């Protein structure tokens, strides 16, 4: 059978003829490959109708015309005699051969069928069983990668007690129901080797994210899975498994490290393989993780530095909030729906240093991350509900909207961070334009390996293509970030700082940025870069005690937005309605009015201060929010932004609006429950809202 027969049907031939076609292509045939080829041959002889479109030559030619080489685990260094080396052993030939091997014989050939090595504790030395009698490794202090457990193991080896002893609160299953039915023992009614209720009845949360063999997972779905891992880690330790706990499990853990530590895909891949030898060993899995890096890291940019934005303009507030919403999770996502996290962290830290963080007003607003956002006590929230009675205001954002509205490129950021891989240097705008096509291959053969035949490199370091070979654990960025996180957490527990007065804080807030020392300016640049690229920068910011740094970061962020928070239209409303703060506030966009009210509440919480000091900080905020210069104490602020001057008449109306709104905030905050109803525009609005809700309830009844 020659090339002219490529389109024909599968024809009967002897095993010798079968191997003759294989040898004609001159591959290096290992004993394992011969077994696979023999099994494939027997399958097609017994089921000729199942693949009538594929001839022997057509099948094998696509598999064997490639380099034969093994993938060596990146984390196994010479001299580590105490670690049992597990060879990856999957080259492009074997990867593709596994992909085309029929499902009916995969388990028997690859895993050993009922004697599957991944479900047999005798196949592994103790160093590869962090959980006794299960092939498992701790990748981080909080995340365990493991092979799938079985009911027999759970009962005989008391896996539940082991989980509880290790404080494992969550187990995540990445299998589809019914997969690998021929491996190990029989499947339960659940379609898995165990009943998930066993864990749930013992207080262990259970999640099942079904990733099919050779299926695909959209980046959105993968990010949702990563968020679940991040949330679960807050509750306790997490165990993740697929079949062997190598392929899909390795991909998810690596993506979690990218998300939580803000590291590059290559660092995450190497770190996972150091901790879990043979994980993430194929090109498809590597590409999936690299695609995830390109998808998620651009949405974590905080400051639009030249090294990250190139020639593109900075982002708008709306664009920033969309990206923030996409990458945050849990209570943080809920709390910071309308408030930029960077603004909140800086302002609350300043108040903490002034010992003004507690809200001592009768309203008792708790400014923190919780299941009930503190913004629900804002005037903005009532205005929003009031308007919602006439027409809903939309606040949710789709993935496509978030990235399509991207205001910066990420390619230059990647270059600046020293990654020279082909994937990392690609312009993220290519991905933005085809969001519907962005996916990651998450195939998982019985040995949990994936397939992607597009890359020619044969070992992990070569596939990663960043010039790093035989990296030591101590040099890995994941390891460095984890250690830094642990150090900062220890500092936070033992933090001791001297409080300052509110007057000192205001003095720092209105300081001329051009008069800052070179040391402070250098630290500001480092902070901005680290907030873009390192997760530990947020912890450092929460521990910062230098008021000048905190103040400069706050105004730098506000004044770097693509559009001022109070733009021309907003100023027009304010000029006309400055004496009616509720009406002005209602005219502002939703994302603007929340941050605007938060900043004014921040000013009112800075106490005790003189009226003059409060006027100074109010004017400085006016300059930042309008991105126009304003006269403050013998000079224009900000002095180095090349903004146009704010007109005197507009400045007067804006100042009136600020004062009236702050008075309204104070009025609302100081209302005692046992006092008679107070008469104001706010009360009329609240009363109108209550009447509208009562009317709606009556109509429903």
* CATH number assigned to the domain comprising residue 556: 1.10.555.10
Mean pLDDT, residues 245-265 taken together: 93
Q: The domain that contains 134 carries what CATH number?
A: 3.90.190.10
For 136-187, the pLDDT digits (tens) are 999 999 999 999 898 888 998 899 999 999 999 999 999 888 776 666 677 8
Q: What would the mean pLDDT of 59-64 be, rounded to a whole number?
A: 42
**Is 321 contained in some domain?**
no
Residue 29 lies in a domain: no
**d(Cα 191, Cα 114) in Å, to the nearest integer?**
16
**pLDDT band at 655, cuts 50/70/90?**
very high
Q: Is residue 44 part of a domain?
A: no
Which structural domain range is residue 543 located in?
A: 502-670
Q: Is the dihedral of CA 576, 578, 580, 582 positive or negative?
A: positive
How much of the chain, in percent, has pLDDT values that exceed 90? 40
Which of 281, 297, 313 is where one domain is finished?
297
Q: What is the pTM of this model?
A: 0.72
- Which helix (H) or strand (E) covers residue 145, if one does? strand 143-146
pLDDT > 70? residue 694? no
- 8: tokens are 């024909």
Nearest to 439, CA basis, from 219, 213, 284: 219
How far apart, in whole angstroms, are the C-alpha atoms of residue 677 and residue 685?
13
With 0-12 CB in 10 A as exposed, 13-18 as middle and 19+ as buried, what is 583?
A: middle
Whole-number pLDDT of residue 63: 41
Whether the per-residue pLDDT at 633 is higher than 70: the answer is yes
Domain finish residue from 261, 277, 297 = 297
Q: Is the residue at 417 inside a domain?
A: no
In a domain, 644, yes or no: yes
On whether residue 655 sits in a domain, the answer given is yes
How many domains does one find in the chain?
Answer: 2
Between helices 518-533 and 547-559, what is the axis angle to 10°?
60
Instruction: Assess contact for 244 and 145: CB atoms under 8 A.
Output: no
What is the model's pLDDT at position 570?
Answer: 92
Helix or strand or coil: residue 441? strand
Question: At which of 268, 297, 326 does a domain end?
Answer: 297
Question: What's the confidence (pLDDT) of residue 180?
Answer: 64
Q: Is residue 442 part of a domain?
A: no
Does any domain span residue 162?
yes
Which residues, in sequence order, are CB contacts of 698 under 8 Å at separation 6+? Answer: none
Q: 58 or 538: which carries more pLDDT confidence?
A: 538
User: How far is Cα 55 from Cα 10, in angstroms, rounded to an integer?
Assistant: 5
Evaluated on CA atoms 231, 235, 237, 243, the torsion sign reads negative
3 state SS of 120: coil
């Amino acid at each position: 059978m020659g090339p002219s027969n490529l389109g024909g049907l599968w024809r009967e031939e002897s095993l010798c003829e079968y191997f003759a076609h294989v040898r004609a292509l001159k591959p290096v045939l290992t004993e394992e490959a011969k077994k696979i080829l023999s099994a494939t041959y027997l399958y097609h002889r017994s089921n000729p109708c199942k693949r009538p479109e594929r001839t022997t030559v057509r099948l094998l030619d696509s598999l064997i015309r490639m380099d034969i080489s093994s993938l060596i685990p990146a984390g196994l260094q010479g001299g580590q005699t105490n670690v049992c080396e597990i060879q990856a052993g999957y080259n492009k030939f074997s990867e593709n051969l596994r992909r085309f091997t029929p499902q009916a014989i995969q388990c028997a050939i690859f895993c050993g069928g009922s004697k599957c090595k991944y479900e047999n504790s005798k196949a592994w030395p103790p160093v590869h069983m962090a959980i006794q009698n299960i092939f498992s490794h701790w990748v981080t202090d909080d995340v365990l990668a493991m092979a799938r457990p079985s009911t027999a193991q759970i009962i005989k080896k008391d896996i539940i007690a082991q989980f509880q002893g290790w404080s494992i609160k969550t187990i995540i299953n990445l299998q589809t129901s019914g997969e690998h039915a021929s491996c190990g023992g029989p499947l339960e009614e659940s379609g898995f080797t165990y009943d998930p209720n066993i864990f749930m009845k013992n207080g262990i949360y259970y999640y099942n994210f079904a990733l099919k063999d050779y299926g695909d997972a959209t980046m959105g779905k993968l990010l949702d899975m990563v968020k679940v891992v991040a949330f679960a880690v807050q509750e306790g330790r997490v165990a993740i498994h697929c079949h062997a706990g190598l392929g899909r499990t390795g991909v998810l853990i690596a993506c979690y490290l990218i998300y939580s530590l803000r590291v590059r895909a290559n660092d995450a891949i190497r770190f996972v393989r150091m901790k879990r030898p043979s994980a993430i060993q194929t090109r498809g899995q590597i590409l999936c993780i690299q695609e995830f890096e390109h998808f998620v890291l651009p949405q974590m940019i905080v400051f639009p530095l030249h090294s990250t934005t190139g020639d593109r303009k900075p982002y708008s507030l709306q664009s920033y909030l969309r990206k923030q919403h996409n990458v945050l999770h849990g209570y943080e996502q809920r709390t910071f729906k309308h408030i930029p996290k960077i603004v909140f962290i800086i302002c609350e830290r300043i108040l903490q240093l002034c010992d003004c963080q507690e809200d001592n007003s009768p309203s008792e607003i708790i400014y923190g991350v919780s299941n009930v956002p503190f913004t629900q006590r804002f005037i903005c929230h009532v205005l929003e509900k009031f308007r919602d009675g006439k027409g809903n205001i939309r606040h949710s954002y789709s993935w496509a909207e978030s990235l399509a509205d991207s205001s910066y490129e990420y390619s230059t950021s990647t270059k600046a961070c020293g990654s020279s891989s082909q994937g990392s240097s690609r312009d993220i705008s290519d991905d933005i334009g085809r969001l519907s096509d962005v996916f990651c291959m998450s195939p998982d053969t019985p040995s949990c390996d994936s397939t992607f035949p597009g890359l020619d490199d044969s070992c992990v370091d070569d596939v990663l293509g960043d010039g790093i070979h035989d990296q030591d654990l101590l040099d890995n960025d994941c390891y460095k970030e984890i250690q830094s996180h642990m150090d900062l957490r220890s500092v936070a527990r033992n933090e001791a700082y001297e409080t300052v007065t509110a007057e000192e804080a205001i003095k720092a807030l209105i300081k001329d940025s051009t008069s800052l020392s070179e040391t402070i300016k250098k630290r500001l640049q480092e902070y901005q870069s680290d907030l873009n690229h390192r997760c530990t920068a947020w912890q450092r910011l929460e521990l910062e005690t230098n008021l000048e740094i905190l103040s400069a970061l706050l105004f730098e962020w506000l004044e770097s937005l693509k559009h001022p928070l109070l733009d021309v239209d907003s100023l027009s409303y304010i000029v006309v309605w400055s004496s009616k703060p509720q009406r002005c506030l209602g005219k502002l966009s939703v994302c603007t009015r929340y941050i605007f009210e938060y900043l004014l509440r921040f000013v009112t919480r800075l106490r005790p201060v003189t009226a003059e000091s409060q006027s100074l900080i109010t004017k400085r905020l006016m300059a930042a929010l309008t991105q126009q210069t304003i006269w403050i104490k013998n000079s224009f602020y900000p002095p180095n932004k090349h903004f146009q001057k704010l007109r005197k008449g507009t400045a007067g109306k804006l100042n009136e609006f600020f004062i009236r709104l702050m008075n309204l905030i104070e009025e609302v905050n100081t209302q005692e429950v046992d006092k008679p109803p107070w008469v104001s525009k706010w009360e009329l609005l609240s009363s109108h809202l209550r009447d509208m809700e009562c009317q709606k309830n009556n109509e429903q009844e």
